[in-house]
């Protein structure tokens, strides 16, 4: 996850930023919607009421950016077909999104939603943030897959960002 230029080796001693926490909670909320049968608004309300601050793996999380969290959950839910289409176009094998672990699938969906809808957030930030979330749950193979898929989605949907960085 992005650390705002701070020492990356000191992650465990500093709390995650509000948007980083919102992103993690969005992945978890979408998982809960799929497997718990909840609806987005109810799950959003529950997360806001009960999970605003939390300790995860010994790291005290900051309060999540509630608006960012809600936008991601609603956006992925509302645009899931479009999001999945963009992911499928970037996947090495057709249909792989339907067979992958749910947390990995939702990290990819959240990242893709941000790339589609939040052009104010640099693609490199989105890649870094969601690769960090995947890193918290999975091993090197899944981290490499997530990084590659999100990067491919970003390059396809935001080619101007990559052209600008290569020419600059």
Q: What is the pLDDT of residues 12-24, one digit of tens each?
A: 434 458 899 899 9
**Cα separation of 109 and 75, whole Å?**
10
Helix axes 159-167, 123-137, angle to 10 degrees: 110
What is the reported pTM? 0.83
Pick from 85, 127, 88: nearest CA to 107: 127
What pLDDT is stored for residue 58 in this prediction? Answer: 66
Q: Could you confirm whether domain 79-168 is CATH 1.10.940.10?
A: yes
Domain limits, the chain: 15-77, 79-168
**Cα separation of 32 and 34, whole Å?**
5
What pLDDT is stored for residue 56 in this prediction? Answer: 57
Q: SS in 3 state form for 55-110?
A: EECCEECCCCCHHHHHHHHHHHHHCHHHHHHHHHHHCCCCCHHHHCCHHHHHHHHH
Q: What is the CA radius of gyration of the chain?
A: 15
Q: What is the pLDDT of residues 11-55, one digit of tens each?
A: 443 445 889 989 999 999 999 998 888 899 999 998 877 765 556
What value does the mean pLDDT take over residues 64-69?
92
What value does the mean pLDDT take over residues 99-104?
93
């Amino acid at each position: 996850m992005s650390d705002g230029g701070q020492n990356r080796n000191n992650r465990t001693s500093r709390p995650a930023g509000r948007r980083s926490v919102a992103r993690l909670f969005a992945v978890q909320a979408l998982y809960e919607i799929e497997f718990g049968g909840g609806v987005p608004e109810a799950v959003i309300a529950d997360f806001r009421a009960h999970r605003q601050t939390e300790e995860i793996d010994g790291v005290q999380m900051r309060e999540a950016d509630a608006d960012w969290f809600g936008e991601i959950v609603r956006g992925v839910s509302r645009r899931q077909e479009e999001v999945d289409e963009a992911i499928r176009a970037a996947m090495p094998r057709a249909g792989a999104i339907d067979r992958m672990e749910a947390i990995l699938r939702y990290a990819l969906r959240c990242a893709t939603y941000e790339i589609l809808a939040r052009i104010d957030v640099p693609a490199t930030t989105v890649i870094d943030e969601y690769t960090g979330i995947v890193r918290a749950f999975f091993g090197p193979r899944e981290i490499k897959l997530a990084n590659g898929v999100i990067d491919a989605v970003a390059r396809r949907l935001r080619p101007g960002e990559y052209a600008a960085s290569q020419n600059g």
